Amino acid sequence: MRIEELDSIITSIKSYLELEKASGVEEFYSCAAQDVATVQDGAAGGLAALRKEVLGCRECDLSRTRTNVVFGAGDPKAKLMFIGEAPGADEDAQGLPFVGRAGQLLTKIIEAMGLKRQDVYIANILKCRPPNNRPPLPTEILACRDNVRRQVEMIKPRVICTLGKFASQTLLGTETPISALRGTFHEYNGTKVMPTFHPAYLLRNPEDKKLVWQDMKKVMKEL
């Protein structure tokens, strides 16, 4: 085998392990293939199985244009879960949620709350990127809706923070504007939901950061 081929295999294995780790898989055993066992607790095991299922999803046309499925990442037992809209170009390229400019701002918000990204769980309503970042279509939302519902059921967060109009309205099944939804707790299948502005909106409207911070203080109090 040529050194370049070996290098490429090692890089692929590394990326795979990083994605597995980001999805909650904590340990691998190396042994005979039929005995391969991954040590996980309930939440991580369920999420890893769901992730595997979603990685092969062909329920809508976004599966034709995606580079990677962006399942979600973080602590499978997180008390706080963030839910955004859909992957953008950076997320599609890396297979991880909120890794572009908006993601960097989300990381800052999480850290300002005294947490790390690994302490929370970050997901999106849609798991695949809409071409040119166009708004998700109703058929795509319908096709993907169960995935986020099952993630929430497995993670059982104490609080969900929905980021922006699309995630908030979709999860809560309402057309109320985000400016009216944010700042108070709502409910999704028995879990408290705090809608707030999307970090991408904050990049364009930094004066509203203080409102998001007010919302995050309410979340911190609830946690």
Q: Binding of ligand URA at residue 72 (CB under 6 A)?
A: no
Report the DSSP beta bridge partners of residue 96.
Answer: none
- Please identify, using beta-carbon distances, which residue of 98 and 121 lies nearer to ligand URA: 98
- Quickly tell me which residue has 């929430």 as its tokens: 152
- Please identify, using beta-carbon distances, which residue of 101 and 149 lies nearer to ligand URA: 101
Q: What tokens were used for 220?
A: 């911190």
Distance separating alpha carbons of residues 60 and 12, to the nearest angstrom: 27
Nearest to 199 by CA among 134, 135, 103: 103
Q: Residue 160: which region, alpha, beta or left (left: phi > 0; alpha: psi -120 to 50)?
A: beta
Contact 71, 55 (CB under 8 A): yes
- Please identify, using beta-carbon distances, which residue of 46 and 103 lies nearer to ligand URA: 103
> Which member of 97, 130, 157, 195 binds ligand URA (CB under 6 A)?
97
Distance separating alpha carbons of residues 9 and 180, to the nearest angstrom: 50
- Please give the size of the binding site for ligand URA, defined by CB under 6 A: 13
Q: What tokens were used for 95?
A: 């297979």
Q: Which of residues 75-94 bind ligand URA (CB under 6 A)?
A: 84-88, 91
Q: Which of residues 27-66 bind ligand URA (CB under 6 A)?
A: none
- Please identify, using beta-carbon distances, which residue of 102 and 155 lies nearer to ligand URA: 102
CB under 6 A: which stretch of 16-24, 50-58, 97-105, 208-216 binds ligand URA? 97-105
CB under 6 A: which stretch of 22-30, 38-46, 72-80, 98-106 binds ligand URA? 98-106
What are the backbone dihedrals phi and psi of residue 171, each rounded to the nearest 5 degrees, phi first?
-65, -40
Pairing of the two strands 186-188 and 191-196: antiparallel
> Per-residue x/- mask for ligand URA, residues 122 to 161, rule CB under 6 A?
--x-------------------------------------
Q: How many Cα atoms occupy the beta-carbon half-sphere of 115 within 13 Å?
A: 23
Q: Which of residues 181-200 bind ligand URA (CB under 6 A)?
A: 200
Report the DSSP beta bridge partners of residue 192.
Answer: 159, 187
- Please identify, using beta-carbon distances, which residue of 43 and 96 lies nearer to ligand URA: 96
> Which member of 25, 47, 80, 102 binds ligand URA (CB under 6 A)?
102
Q: What residues make contact with ligand URA under the rule CB under 6 A?
A: 84-88, 91, 97-98, 100, 102-103, 124, 200
